[in-house]
Amino acid sequence: MNILIVGASGLVGSNCQAYLSQFDEFAVLGTHLSFETTNSVYFNSCDLADTQNASLDEFGPEVIVHCGALTFVDYCESHPEESHLKTVVSTQNLLAAARRHNSKFIFISTDYVFDGEQGPYAEGHPVNPICVYGAHKLAAEQLVVNSGLAYLILRITNVYGDELRGKNFIARMLNQIAASEPIALTLPHDQYATPINARDVAKAIKVLLNGKKQGLYHLGSTDYMNRFQLAERVIHKFAYEKAALTLTNTQALAQAAARPLNGGLLARKFLSEFPDFRFTNVDDYLTTKLHA
């Protein structure tokens, strides 16, 4: 099975490429846009006419996994045109490519399609995004649903894990600890989510593909915590003394984009179909780093 991973230099995409490439039944091609890696080729999903784009015809993707998006939520709020281009238009373009190759389409989405009033959320809960990022992710989801293609929409949130650039929240903290740098963070106690390891997303994609599944799935671990608790978990695990965490609330932070406060995702549907699957948790990941 030929799998094209768009956005393979990012956190989710790179983990998908690394994990799926281990299996003989998969031929995996990863792409990048702004951040080049040795394992990816250039492909601009925002502009299919870009002359630098790698040829998809040569690869012949049977599955396209769309991991690329503009994920800086506050930036999206003040740059809605760029957000629309990189999330909605890119999806529209990749769906056109998927039709040409009759590819199954996998779209990575978010709990930001919800308003955060009644989370954590199951798949059937009504959507109601409250920021530009969430609205554009939902618009892209709707394009996928209405495409006529075989598809999977996977909603995830608060993703962490191994990443070349170490941009995710936990990775940044671990890098500071490794460098013995002081950590000073002011974090909200009222933004709850279900953190998930990017490697688990990759594993879930494999079982969904092998199970020939289609439709919408929420993926999430057993962890349900706020941002302050997440940072505290890292500090406690490493007994790090150069850390100062200050508790606050979302209103005091005055962030540009509204956040779904009681967010998070319930993976009951996925686990009911794959009861032997085990999502790892934050402690599992930190333990591997502690003993690395």
pLDDT tens column, 145-169: 999 999 999 999 999 999 988 889 9
Q: How far apart are CA 69 and CA 200, in angstroms?
A: 19
Q: How far apart are CA 95 and CA 98, in angstroms?
A: 5
Residue 154, strand partner residues: 108, 217
Residue 146's pLDDT is what? Answer: 98
Which of 217, 120, 202, 110 lies closest to 158, judged by CA? Answer: 110
Low-confidence ranges of the chain (pLDDT < 70): none
Residue 152's pLDDT is what? Answer: 98
Q: What architecture (CATH level 2) is domain 2-161+195-223+263-280?
A: 3-Layer(aba) Sandwich (3.40)
Alpha helices for 146-190 (secondary structure H)? 169-178
* Strands 215-218 and 225-226, sheet pairing: unpaired
Residue 292's pLDDT is what? Answer: 78
Label residues 189-215 b or e (16+ Cβ within 10 Å = b). eebbbbbbbbbbbbbbbbebbeeeeee
Residue 289's pLDDT is what? Answer: 94
Q: Which residues contact 6 (CB under 8 A, 6 or more apart)?
A: 13, 31, 43, 45, 64, 65, 66, 67, 68, 90, 94
Q: How far apart are CA 272 and CA 64, in angstroms?
A: 25
Q: Domain spans of the chain?
A: 2-161+195-223+263-280
pLDDT tens column, 239-262: 999 999 999 999 999 999 999 999
